[in-house]
Amino acid sequence: MQILAFGVTADEKPLLERAFEGQHEVRCLDVFLSEDTAPIAAGYEIVSSSVNADLNGRVVRTLAAGGTRMIAQRSTGFNNIDLDVARQLGMTVSRVSYYSPYSVAEFAWTLAMAVNRRIVRASNRTRDFDFRLNGLMGRDMRGRTVGVLGTGKIGEAFTRIAHGFGMNLLGWDVAQNPACVELGMKYVDKDELFASADLLSLHVPLLESTHHIIDSAALKAMKDDALLVNSSRGGLVDTDALVTELRAGRFAGVGLDVYEAEAGLFFLDKSLEAVEDDTLARLVTFPNVVVTSHQAYYTHEAVGQIIDTTVQNVADYVAGRRSQNTLVPSPS
């Protein structure tokens, strides 16, 4: 069986091809699945998509019309897929429900320390042989308060690192994680979390209930010198409201690995094009902001687990099985 995989990076391609070797033939494309590229999938029963694919109803219908019966998403998030349309068309949809939580947690801490200790600014200076320390002063993390918004697997891993720093642990989630409680985490309501955190890190999924959970009110409730890190989903933060607060001189640092309008931008080279997104263009100009291109998950371990799970999801589809990764099962 032939599989068409969209949005495959150069690092990922040999791993994906090797994983399917001897089972199925996989064709890898670096373009993302969208309304413009969906017709390419005609004749492929199985299509694999990446996190920034646009699988709206029209795209799903185009895939189905071309003969696609399964969508294997290579990510945990699936808010980009119109599952209702897929269900109506009798398509199978799967995702990767689990991969290394340490990849994202460690990267979130990388962002936190990068903005706290002004690493990017320092690196840019030394490239010009400017070795002054002016404006590079950070803060110790020990003894400060971290707020963890979402304490699932990734939030727990992030909390363990915070515990190692010797920080006071505050958390919020719909359900408490006993492992975090054992580390000394105190669960509080969101208002207290926002007001008390010296460092706020976001680890909740993007749902209707969490869209813009960091809105203007939440940002205003935070300390003026707080650090904010988002390595989960861009839609958790109202970016326009964030820019407004940054323009007012608030926050010691902001680290963003995700952006709510990243589709069509992230994972692509736009360096020779005019930037049409005024909000993003303004955001990256702030000296206390670091923006990266949705790379928190991008480790050998995590990508390997994502690919292995995708291979298993395809095997389950072929065998008519369901698993915890099945979002829309095959019709009975």
Q: What does the pLDDT look like over 182-196, one tens digit per residue?
A: 999 999 999 999 999
Q: What is the per-residue pLDDT for 65?
A: 97
Q: What is the per-residue pLDDT for 330?
A: 78
- pLDDT confidence tier of residue 19, bands split at 50, 70 and 90: very high
Grouping H, G, I as helix, E, B as strand and the rest as coil, residue 197 is coil
pTM of the complete model: 0.92
- pLDDT confidence tier of residue 332, bands split at 50, 70 and 90: low
Q: Is the pLDDT of residue 128 over 90?
A: yes
**Is the C-alpha dihedral spanning 201, 205, 208, 209 positive or negative?**
negative
Task: Point out the residues that are catalytic.
Answer: 233, 262, 294
- pLDDT confidence tier of residue 105, bands split at 50, 70 and 90: very high
Token duo for residue 131: 């070795």
Which residue(s) pair with 230 in the sheet?
202, 256
Grouping H, G, I as helix, E, B as strand and the rest as coil, residue 256 is strand
**Residue showing tokens 């990764």:** 325
Contact 169, 186 (CB under 8 A): yes
Q: What is the per-residue pLDDT for 263?
A: 84
Q: What is the per-residue pLDDT for 117?
A: 97
- Nearest one of 249, 244, 162, 167 to 203, comparing CA atoms: 162
Q: Is the pLDDT of residue 161 over 90?
A: yes
Contact 265, 283 (CB under 8 A): no
Contact 151, 290 (CB under 8 A): no
Token duo for residue 260: 């709510």
Q: What does the pLDDT look like over 229-276, one tens digit per residue?
A: 999 999 999 999 999 999 999 999 999 999 999 988 898 888 899 888
Q: What is the per-residue pLDDT for 58?
A: 97
